Each structure stands twice: as C-alpha cells, then as structure tokens.
C-alpha cells in the first residue's frame, strides 16, 4: 500500500484527505462512521467570537447534482470549541484544523487570540473569509483584496506560528488577485473553494426556496469550477500548498484536484450522503498510486499535462 | 447509528396513495425506537445526491438476524419514485436509526395519538410499543380526503377509541383532527398526547394539550441533508429558559409574562435552533416556536423531510394564500 502521508505547509498529515468545514461538525457525530484518527484532518465547523444562532429555515434545498445552503454559521462560539470540542478531538488523536469566522476584522483577531492561548494541539487554522463584512456594506471579506489582506494580516499577527489557510470564495473576478493578497498577508496555504453563490425559486409560491434568499451551492455540480480554481491558483503560486475542495465524493474526484495542483483535498457535501466517503476516497487514492507505481502523493501534485 | 444495506422483502400499497417497503435490516430493526427515522439513498448517480428520510412505520423483530423495518411514503419526486419501483431482493442503502424518538410513559397511561396524513406513520410503531407496555391507546387519524388517510382499518384495530376525520368528509367525520380533539381527550381521559403531521396541525394540537396541562410530544418533519447532526439545516426554533443569575435577565425579570397557551417566547426566554435530526425529531410541543415556521416548503423539496408532509397537508395552494410572495 502506497504511503499516503503528506507534508502540508510544514505539517505532517496521515493522508491527503480531510473533511471540509461545516460538513463534519466537530467530529463527534461523524465518529459513528469514521475513526477520526484515520483522516488527514478535520476542518471543524467555523467558530465565531460569540455563539451565532444562524438563519431561519428552510436553510437548504436540493439542486441538480448539488445543494444550496444558507445556514448562517450556527455555532456555539470559540470558547465552547476550546473547552469542549478541541479536547475531545485531541483525545481521539484527530488532526485538527480550526476554522474561524467573523463579521469584522476585529472579531477574527479576537478569535485568533483565543486560539493562541487556548488552541494547543491544533494543526492548522482555516480562515473562513466568506462572511459578510459589516464594516463594508456586508460585502464578503474574500471579495476584495483589501479586506482579505486585513483579515489575514490580523490573524497572522495574532497567531504568528500557526499554519494559516484562508478559504477563498470563487465568486470573484480574479481569484489569483485575492490569492496573492492572502499570500502577501501571511497565508501559509489556501483552501479552495468555498461555495458558489446561488439561488433557487419555488415558482408555485413565487418565493425563494431558502429563507436566506441566496445561498451557497455545493456538491458535484461545482467540481469543475473548483478544479479550475485550484489549477489557476497553483499555476500562479506553485509553491503555495492548496487544500482542494468542492464536490469531491470519490477518489477520482480527489485525484482531479491533486493533479490540478492541490496538495491535499477535503470531502464536503458528500459527508452528508455517505458519512464514510472520506475513507473511501483515501482508499481509492492509495489504490490509484499502487496501480500507477506512485511512491508519494507529492509526485502527483500539479502533474496534469496541459501541453503536448 | 449504522450505515448499512438492507434487502427489500416486500413492496405493497396502502390504499391507492401510499407505498410501503419492508426492508431486512436486522441491526437497525433491533435498535430502532418509535419516532426515529432512517435516511435512504434513492437512486444511482449524482443527479439527486441527498438521501430521503423516512420515519419507521413498523418494526418486526425476529431475533438478531431477520428483523425488518417498514416505511411508508407517497410519490413526491424522483427519490420516492425510485423507491416505489424497488422490488423484493433489491438492495437499499440506508443510515439509521436516527434521531430521538418518543418518550414512553413510566406508569400506565391513557395515550392519545394524533396523526395527519402520512404524518401518522411513526404513530403505528408507537401504538404497537405502547400497547405492548400495557398503556391505553386512542387515535385520531386525519387527512384531507379518504385517499390521504394512512391505513384507517389498522387504526381501528389498534386503538381503544379511533376517530377518523377527513376535511372533505369522504371518510369518517368531516373536519380536522382538532375539531374532535377536546371531546376525545375528555372521553378517553387522556394523560399524554403524541402527534405527528404538518406544522399548523402540531401547533393547534399543542395549544389544546398545553391548555389542559397535558404533555404533548410532537414529531416534526424538517428538510434535512445529513440526518446525523452535522449539516445544521433541519433546525427547529425552540424557546429555552435563560440561565438564572445573569444580571440582565434579573433586571428585566419584572416584565416576564407567559401567554396562557404557552405559545410565545416571553421576555425571559431565549430562542435556540435545535437540530431535528439529533435533538429531535420528537420535541416537547410546548417548547417549539411554531410561528417561526410559517414558510411553505417548495413542492420539489418535500421528500427531504422525514415523512414528506410539508406540502401534502391542506395543499400548498392554501398556504400560498396565507403567505403571499414578497411584494404582493
């Protein structure tokens, strides 16, 4: 069996397959199906400075080959994560990636401060900058290089040693420009991609299908967009490790991301459908490597042949 | 909670409207409690990716190796259409048992089960268990019309007192379940109410029960993606008491007022969104904030709720009138 361990921004992971934020809680529920220490890492549900109640329902609807959601980052807050979820994950020998979110730059920094003092044992931090910026007409942080820089630089200062992975939104004109801003501000790697903006309408009622009106599209439907995003950013910044995500449910899906330039991948919406899909993806990558006599995952990263 | 594959033992119909699938799922069958549900993969490929949740209608425990579970459904979309075409020996991929089921009374009790449309499904399993434990079981079964009633003949067999009501009067008494509820409570000396069906019905049943100081356990049907607690889409707004001792809440204590029917959150209550899949689908009806849930669900999404009732009851034409689109 191939060696699946990888190095991601200086940290060693058991496998290149993680579970995406918001699709695996803080590991406890998923542990009924998956021994959490067999995952490359768990990117936990985003946590905020104070508990967030979330949006009213309906929060989701199914769409062709995917789903839309508008949940509003319902979570119990960073203090709960540090006091309850993190110790449980570490006890289970999980590789933990925190995910932080906020509505102002200051909120991100305060959450990062709490992780610096209480987050011992965390392997990396994903920065969820697909949140409305209340100080900028509720535009998402990830939609301008300036606010991306502000958040990432602020978190970098608060967490000087942590491996930081801003998670970028694909809903921008130039993803490489935003990626460049995040890297310049101190990102160690990037998470690509967050959901695509979408909307669905119930024509019988002439109402949006989501109470939040618009939402984030995920699932197999967005995979080609995500693979393209990874490929584009990897070409622009070949030395920056990328966690590729967006509609991965099989090893073949994951390998597309790796060949496009992702150093690791995260399984997201597929966890809802098949709670064990992360392990099936991992197994399939190993089989592919054996079949093709590939000794390490790193050999595959970005190895898609686009010329000749 | 298991991810497993079960073999279809039988497919049949209840009336012209409802399909039933009996699935051999020994471990799930041994574990499942009334009110819990299973989440079923409905098709190959990735066109419709999400599982469809179904409350368990009946269980036949046959020792550790051959227990079966039965689900009932009507055809709402591609997923239920797929299930309706399954035949014996075909395999079903399912996750279960999921959720928190009904709490059974400790002492002998007179239990009234109130079901609307296919929302009655989990009440059959509940009635079996209650009767086995020696409780008295009375049932009110309601639906829009004769064809939407779920197995009224079986209800008459199960219940000490069985009331069947249809909105169009095509079978039983004409009206809604709430029209005969108070009278039935008095006649049967009801001590606890269990109910499952559309929100307006659950709200009305809860109001009547709470007024009479009866515990009301409601099983809700929310749209869900994962069914095991991670996606946070199937939440119900609940009111919870604020923690005592907080300075703010003491200062405002004087303004506390609880409505007679207990239906509104008062100044001392906090609203929290609880996951129907793990903290429910059975809730204390008195804790639910029903008015947070007037939004109709799009017809094409209906089969993503445990028994798919969100649209069936009353028809969405009715609710469209009550909830005009923005701008009208």
Whole-angstrom distance, CA of residue B307 vs CA of residue B316: 16
**A94-138, pLDDT tens digit by residue?**
999 999 999 999 999 999 999 999 999 999 999 999 877 778 878
Contact in structure between B206 and B288 (CB atoms under 8 Å): yes
Widest CA span in chain A: 56
Q: Which of A26, A199, A205 is the best residue to mutate to test the B interface, defined by the most B CB atoms within 10 Å of its own CB?
A: A205
The answer to whether B296 contacts chain A (CB < 8 Å) is: yes
| pLDDT reported for residue B321 | 31
| pLDDT reported for residue B251 | 38
Residue A214 predicted with pLDDT over 90:
yes
Whole-angstrom distance, CA of residue A18 vs CA of residue A265: 6
Q: How far is B113 from chain A (nearest CA, A)?
A: 27
Residues of A in contact with B328 (CB under 8 A): 206
For residue B44, give every residue at least 6 positions away whose Cβ sits within 8 Å of its Cβ, in sequence order, or none. Answer: none
Q: What values do phi and psi take at B217, rounded to 5?
A: -100, 120
| pLDDT reported for residue B303 | 79
The answer to whether B44 contacts chain A (CB < 8 Å) is: no
Closest by Cβ to A54, choosing from B49, B229, B235: B235
The CATH homologous superfamily to which domain B2-98 belongs is Translation factors (2.40.30.10)
| pLDDT reported for residue B252 | 37
The answer to whether B320 contacts chain A (CB < 8 Å) is: yes
Whole-angstrom distance, CA of residue A183 vs CA of residue A177: 10
The answer to whether A212 contacts chain B (CB < 8 Å) is: no
The answer to whether B275 contacts chain A (CB < 8 Å) is: no
| pLDDT reported for residue B66 | 82
Q: How far is B123 from chain A (nearest CA, A)?
A: 25
In the predicted model, what is the mean pLDDT of residues A234-259?
A: 98
Q: Where are the domains of chain B?
A: 2-98, 110-223+270-322
**A146-203, pLDDT tens digit by residue?**
999 999 999 999 999 999 999 999 999 999 999 999 999 999 999 999 999 999 999 9
User: Is residue A270 within a helix (H) or strand (E), and if so which, with residue range?
Assistant: helix A270-273
Q: Tokens standing for A88?
A: 């449980």
Query: Is the sign of the CA dihedral A83, A89, A90, A95 positive or negative?
Result: negative
Residues of B in contact with A269 (CB under 8 A): 49, 225
Whole-angstrom distance, CA of residue B171 vs CA of residue B153: 11
| pLDDT reported for residue B65 | 72
Q: How far is B231 from chain A (nearest CA, A)?
A: 6
- List active site positions of A: 131
Span B110-223+270-322: which CATH code?
A: 3.40.50.80
**A216-232, pLDDT tens digit by residue?**
999 999 999 999 999 99
Give how far the C-alpha of residue A224 lies from the chain's centroid of Cα atoms, to the nearest Å.
16
Whole-angstrom distance, CA of residue A117 vs CA of residue A161: 12
β-strand partners of A214: A199
The answer to whether B50 contacts chain A (CB < 8 Å) is: yes
Residues of A in contact with B233 (CB under 8 A): 57-60, 69, 71
Which residue of chain A has the CA closest to B99?
A29
What average pLDDT does chain A have?
A: 96
Span A6-54+73-195+219-299: which CATH code?
A: 3.20.20.70
**In chain B, residues 129-158 whose CB comes closer than 8 Å to chain A:** none
The answer to whether B278 contacts chain A (CB < 8 Å) is: yes
Widest CA span in chain B: 65
Closest by Cβ to A25, choosing from B230, B295, B326: B230
Whole-angstrom distance, CA of residue A97 vs CA of residue A121: 10
In the predicted model, what is the mean pLDDT of residues A235-245?
A: 98
A59:B51 CB<8 A: no
Closest by Cβ to A204, choosing from B232, B293, B320: B320
Measured at the alpha carbon of residue A221, what is the angle toward residues B79 and A17, in degrees to the nearest 5? 100
The answer to whether B95 contacts chain A (CB < 8 Å) is: yes
Q: Tokens standing for A228?
A: 């393209």
Residue A105, SS3 per DSSP: helix
* Residue showing tokens 């009946």: B58
| pLDDT reported for residue B69 | 96
Residues of B in contact with A276 (CB under 8 A): 3
Q: Could you tell me the pTM of the whole model?
A: 0.90
Question: What are the mean pLDDT values of chain B's consecutive 10-residue runs (328 residues total)?
Answer: 94 94 94 96 90 95 82 92 95 96 95 95 97 97 94 95 96 95 97 94 95 96 93 93 50 37 53 93 94 65 64 33 30
| pLDDT reported for residue A2 | 84
The answer to whether B98 contacts chain A (CB < 8 Å) is: no
Query: Does the ipTM exceed 0.90?
Result: yes
Q: Where are the beta strands (DSSP E) in B144-268?
A: 162-166, 173-174, 192-196, 216-219, 235-241
Closest by Cβ to B301, choosing from A33, A209, A269: A209
Cα dihedral A166/A239/A16/A32 (nearest 10)? -10
B51:A202 CB<8 A: no
Q: Is the peptide bond before B280 cis (omega within 30 degrees of 0)?
A: no
Q: Where are the domains of chain A?
A: 6-54+73-195+219-299
The answer to whether B260 contacts chain A (CB < 8 Å) is: no
Instruction: Give the DSSP letter string of A145-189.
Output: HHHHHHHHHHHHHHSSSS-EEEEEPS-SS-HHHHHHHHHHTT-S-
Closest by Cβ to B228, choosing from A32, A60, A206: A32
Residues of A in contact with B237 (CB under 8 A): 56
Residues of A in contact with B228 (CB under 8 A): 29-30, 32, 275
């Amino acid at each position: 069996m191939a060696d699946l361990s990888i190095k991601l921004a200086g940290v060693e992971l058991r496998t290149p397959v993680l579970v995406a934020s918001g699709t695996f809680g803080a590991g406890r529920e998923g542990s009924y199906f998956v021994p959490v220490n067999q995952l490359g890492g768990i990117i936990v549900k985003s946590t905020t400075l104070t508990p967030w109640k979330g949006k009213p329902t309906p929060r989701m609807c199914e769409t062709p080959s995917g789903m839309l959601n508008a949940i509003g980052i319902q979570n119990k807050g960073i203090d709960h994560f540090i006091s309850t979820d993190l110790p449980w994950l570490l006890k289970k020998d999980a590789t933990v990636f925190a995910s932080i979110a906020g509505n102002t730059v200051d909120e991100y920094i305060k959450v990062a401060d709490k992780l610096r003092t209480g987050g011992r044992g965390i392997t990396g931090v994903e920065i969820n900058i697909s949140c409305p910026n209340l100080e900028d007409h509720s535009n998402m942080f990830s939609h301008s290089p300036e606010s991306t820089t502000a958040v990432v630089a602020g978190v970098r200062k608060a967490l000087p040693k942590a491996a930081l992975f801003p998670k970028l939104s694909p809903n921008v004109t130039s993803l490489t420009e935003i990626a460049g801003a995040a890297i310049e501000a101190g990102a160690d790697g990037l998470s690509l991609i967050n959901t695509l903006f979408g909307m669905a309408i119930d024509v019988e009622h002439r109402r949006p299908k989501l109470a939040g009106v618009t939402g984030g599209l995920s699932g197999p439907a967005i995979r080609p967009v995500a693979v393209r995003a990874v490929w584009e950013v990897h070409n622009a910044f070949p030395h920056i490790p990328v966690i590729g995500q967006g509609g991965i449910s099989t090893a073949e899906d994951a390998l597309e991301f790796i060949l496009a330039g992702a150093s690791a991948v995260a399984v997201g919406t597929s966890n809802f459908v098949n709670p064990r899909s992360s392990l099936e993806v991992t197994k399939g990558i190993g089989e592919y490597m054996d079949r093709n006599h590939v000794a390490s995952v790193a050999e595959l990263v970005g190895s898609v042949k686009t010329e000749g | 909670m298991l991810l497993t594959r079960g073999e279809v033992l039988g497919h049949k119909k209840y009336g012209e409207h409802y399909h039933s699938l009996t699935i051999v799922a020994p471990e799930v069958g041994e574990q499942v409690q009334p009110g819990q549900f299973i989440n079923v993969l409905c098709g190959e490929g990735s066109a419709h990716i999400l599982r469809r949740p179904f409350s368990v209608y009946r269980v036949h425990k046959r020792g550790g190796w051959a227990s079966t579970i039965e689900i009932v459904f009507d055809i709402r979309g591609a997923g239920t259409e797929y299930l309706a075409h399954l035949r014996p020996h075909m395999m079903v991929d399912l996750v279960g048992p999921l959720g928190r089921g009904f709490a059974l009374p400790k002492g002998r009790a007179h239990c009234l089960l109130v079901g609307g449309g296919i929302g009655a499904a989990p009440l059959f399993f509940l009635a079996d268990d209650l009767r086995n434990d020696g409780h008295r079981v009375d049932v009110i079964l309601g639906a829009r019309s004769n064809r939407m009633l779920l197995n009224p003949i079986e209800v008459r067999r199960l219940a000490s007192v069985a009331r069947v009501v249809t909105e169009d009067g095509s079978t039983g008494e004409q009206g809604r379940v709430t029209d005969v509820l108070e009278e039935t409570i008095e006649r049967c000396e009801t001590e606890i109410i269990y109910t499952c069906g559309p929100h307006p019905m659950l709200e009305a049943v809860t109001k009547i029960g709470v007024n009479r100081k009866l515990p009301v356990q409601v099983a809700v049907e929310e749209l869900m993606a994962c069914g095991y607690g991670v996606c946070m889409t199937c939440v119900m707004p609940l009111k919870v008491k604020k923690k005592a001792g907080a300075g703010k809440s003491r200062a405002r204590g004087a303004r506390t007022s609880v409505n007679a029917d207990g239906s509104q959150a008062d100044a001392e209550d906090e609203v929290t969104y609880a996951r129907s899949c793990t903290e429910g689908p059975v809730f204390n009806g008195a804790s639910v904030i029903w008015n947070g849930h007037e939004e109709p669900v799009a017809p094409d999404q209906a089969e993503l709720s445990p028994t798919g009732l969100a649209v069936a009851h009353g028809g969405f034409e009715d609710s469209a009138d009550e909830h005009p689109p923005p701008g009208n």
